[in-house]
Structure 1
Amino acid sequence: MGGAPWARARAALQAGGGNAAALRVLEEAPFLVALDPPPRPGAPPGDLDAEAKALLHGPCHNRWFDKSFTLVVFGTGRMGLNVELSWGDPPVAGHLWEYTLATDAELGYEGNGDCRGGVGPGVPPPQRLHWAIPPEVTGSTGGLLGSREGGARPLPELRARPHPPLPGGPGRGGAGLRPPVLALAAALGDPETGRGRRRALLQAALRQQRGQRRAAMTGAGLDRHLQALAAVASQLRLRPPFLVEVLGQPWALASSPAPRAEPPLLPPPLHPAGGGFGPPHPDGYGVCYARAGEGALVFHVCCRASSPRTDARRFAGQIWEALGELGELLGGMRSYWEALGALGEDWGM
Structure 2
Amino acid sequence: MAEAHQAVAFQFTVTPEGVAFQLSREALKQIYLSGVSSWKKRLARLKNSILTGVFPGTPSGWLAVVAVTVGATYFGIDVSVGLIFRIQNCRRCLGVRSRSLLSALIFSSGAWMLGVLLRRQALRLLLSYHGWMFEPHGKTRPSTKIWASMVRVMSGRHPMLYSFQTSLPKLPVPRVADTIQRYLESVRPLLDEERFLDMEALKYLLLKSWWATNYVSDWWEEYIYLRGRSPIMVNSNYYVMDFLYTTPTHLQAARAGNAVHSILLYRRRLDREDLAPVMALGVVPLCSYQMERIFNTTRIPGKQADRLLHLSDSRHLAVFHKGRFFKVWLYHAGKLLPPRDLEMQFQRILDDPSPPETGEERLAALTAGERSVGGLPWAEAREKYFSRGKNKASLDCVERAAFFVTLDEEEHGFDPDKEDSLDRYSKSLLHGQCCDRWFDKSFSLVVYRNGKLGANAEHSWADAPIIGHLWEFMLATDHFQLGYCSDGHCHGVPNTALPPPQRLTWDIPEECCNVIDASYAVARALADDIDFHSFRFVEFGKGRIKKCRTSPDSFIQIALQLAHFRDKGRFCLTYEASMTRLFREGRTETVRSCTSEATAFVFQLRGRNISHELWNLFHVAAEKHQHLYRLAMTGSGLDRHLFCLYVVSRYLGVESPFLDKVLSEPWRLSTSQTPQQQIKMFDLEAHPECASSGGGFGPVADDGYGVSYIIAGENLVTFHVSSKFSSPETVSVHRRAATGRTGLGTEGWALDPSRLLKGTQHFVFKIGSYILKPRK
TM beyond 0.5: yes
Instruction: Answer whether contact 1:199 1:329 (CA < 8 A) is retained.
Output: no
Larger helix fraction of residues: 2
Residue in structure 2 matching 1:320, options 757, 762, 766: 757
Residue 164 of structure 1 corresponds to 553
For the residues of structure 1 that align with 2:497 and 2:591, how far apart are their CA atoms?
Answer: 48
SS at 1:29's partner residue? Answer: coil
Change (3 A) 1:329 1:196: farther
For the residues of structure 1 that align with 2:654 and 2:502, how far apart are their CA atoms?
Answer: 52
**% identical equivalent positions:** 36
Task: Single out whichever of 239-248 and 264-273 deviates more from structure 2.
Answer: 264-273
Please state how far the C-alpha of 1:176 moved relative to its aligned partner: 4.4
Instruction: Answer whether contact 1:39 1:54 (CA < 8 A) is retained.
Output: no
Alignment of 1:23 with 2:395, yes or no, is: yes
Please state how far the C-alpha of 1:81 moved relative to its aligned partner: 1.0
For the residues of structure 1 that align with 2:764 and 2:641, how far apart are their CA atoms?
Answer: 36
* Alignment gaps of 5+ in structure 2: 1-369, 544-550, 562-573, 578-589, 735-750
For the residues of structure 2 that align with 1:294 and 1:119, how far apart are their CA atoms?
Answer: 42
Alignment of 1:307 with 2:689, yes or no, is: no
Please state how far the C-alpha of 1:57 moved relative to its aligned partner: 0.9
Please state how far the C-alpha of 1:239 moved relative to its aligned partner: 3.2
Letter in 1 for 2:372: G
Task: Single out whichever of 102-111 and 140-149 deviates more from structure 2.
Answer: 140-149
Instruction: Answer whether contact 2:698 2:722 (CA < 8 A) is retained.
Output: yes
For the residues of structure 2 that align with 1:122 and 1:244, how far apart are their CA atoms?
Answer: 63
Instruction: Answer whether contact 1:203 1:343 (CA < 8 A) is retained.
Output: no
Q: Give the alignment of 1:72-111 within 5 angstroms.
A: 72-105=446-479, 106-111=481-486
Alignment of 1:154 with 2:536, yes or no, is: yes
For the residues of structure 1 that align with 2:681 and 2:761, how far apart are their CA atoms?
Answer: 27
Instruction: Answer whether contact 2:696 2:720 (CA < 8 A) is retained.
Output: yes
Change (3 A) 1:65 1:218: farther
Instruction: Answer whether contact 1:91 1:257 (CA < 8 A) is retained.
Output: no
Residue 131 of structure 1 corresponds to 506
Change (3 A) 1:285 1:171: same
Letter in 1 for 2:689: P
Residue 182 of structure 1 corresponds to 599
Please state how far the C-alpha of 1:217 moved relative to its aligned partner: 2.5
Structure whose alpha-carbon radius of gyration is higher: 2
Residue 13 of structure 1 corresponds to 385
For the residues of structure 2 that align with 1:136 and 1:293, how far apart are their CA atoms?
Answer: 53
SS at 2:619's partner residue? Answer: helix
Instruction: Answer whether contact 1:90 1:275 (CA < 8 A) is retained.
Output: no
Task: Single out whichever of 201-210 and 139-148 deviates more from structure 2.
Answer: 139-148
Instruction: Answer whether contact 1:90 1:256 (CA < 8 A) is retained.
Output: no
For the residues of structure 2 that align with 1:240 and 1:21, how far apart are their CA atoms?
Answer: 48
For the residues of structure 2 that align with 1:24 and 1:2, how far apart are their CA atoms?
Answer: 18
Please state how far the C-alpha of 1:330 moved relative to its aligned partner: 4.0
SS at 1:312's partner residue? Answer: coil
SS at 1:151's partner residue? Answer: strand
Instruction: Answer whether contact 1:175 1:222 (CA < 8 A) is retained.
Output: no
For the residues of structure 2 that align with 1:296 and 1:126, how far apart are their CA atoms?
Answer: 42
- Superposed CA offset, 1:301-331 (max 9, x none): 0112332321111476233322223323544
Residue 284 of structure 1 corresponds to 704
Residue 242 of structure 1 corresponds to 658
Please state how far the C-alpha of 1:119 moved relative to its aligned partner: 6.3
Please state how far the C-alpha of 1:152 moved relative to its aligned partner: 0.6
For the residues of structure 2 that align with 1:14 and 1:310, how far apart are their CA atoms?
Answer: 41
For the residues of structure 1 that align with 2:681 and 2:632, how far apart are their CA atoms?
Answer: 25
Change (3 A) 1:185 1:71: same
For the residues of structure 2 that align with 1:93 and 1:184, how far apart are their CA atoms?
Answer: 36
Change (3 A) 1:160 1:275: same
Alpha-carbon RMSD across the aligned residues, in angstroms, is 3.0
Residue 740 of structure 2 corresponds to none
Please state how far the C-alpha of 1:229 moved relative to its aligned partner: 1.2
Change (3 A) 1:215 1:87: farther
Please state how far the C-alpha of 1:213 moved relative to its aligned partner: 1.7
Change (3 A) 1:144 1:10: farther
Residue 155 of structure 2 corresponds to none
SS at 1:12's partner residue? Answer: helix
Instruction: Answer whether contact 1:199 1:330 (CA < 8 A) is retained.
Output: no
For the residues of structure 2 that align with 1:330 and 1:207, how far apart are their CA atoms?
Answer: 18
Number of matched pairs: 337
For the residues of structure 1 that align with 2:650 and 2:658, how far apart are their CA atoms?
Answer: 14
With a CA cutoff of 8 Å and minimum separation of 6, indicate the structure with the bigger relative contact order. 1
SS at 1:332's partner residue? Answer: helix
For the residues of structure 1 that align with 2:645 and 2:775, how far apart are their CA atoms?
Answer: 38
Residue 54 of structure 2 corresponds to none
Change (3 A) 1:202 1:318: farther
For the residues of structure 1 that align with 2:775 and 2:655, how far apart are their CA atoms?
Answer: 46
Instruction: Answer whether contact 2:605 2:614 (CA < 8 A) is retained.
Output: yes
Change (3 A) 1:278 1:18: same
Change (3 A) 1:198 1:108: same
Please state how far the C-alpha of 1:163 moved relative to its aligned partner: 5.5
For the residues of structure 2 that align with 1:202 and 1:243, how far apart are their CA atoms?
Answer: 32
SS at 2:708's partner residue? Answer: strand
For the residues of structure 2 that align with 1:198 and 1:179, how far apart are their CA atoms?
Answer: 15
For the residues of structure 1 that align with 2:372 and 2:399, how far apart are their CA atoms?
Answer: 18
SS at 1:309's partner residue? Answer: coil
Instruction: Answer whether contact 2:643 2:663 (CA < 8 A) is retained.
Output: no
- Superposed CA offset, 1:273-314 (max 9, x none): 111001111111111001346621110001123323211114
- Superposed CA offset, 1:229-286 (max 9, x none): 1222233233311111111121112100012117573521122211100111111111
Residue 208 of structure 1 corresponds to 624
Letter in 2 for 1:18: K
For the residues of structure 1 that align with 2:714 and 2:487, how far apart are their CA atoms?
Answer: 29
- Superposed CA offset, 1:70-108 (max 9, x none): 111111211111111234434333332122100112122
Residue 717 of structure 2 corresponds to 297
For the residues of structure 1 that align with 2:464 and 2:473, how far apart are their CA atoms?
Answer: 14
Letter in 2 for 1:20: K
SS at 2:613's partner residue? Answer: helix
* Alignment gaps of 5+ in structure 1: 345-349
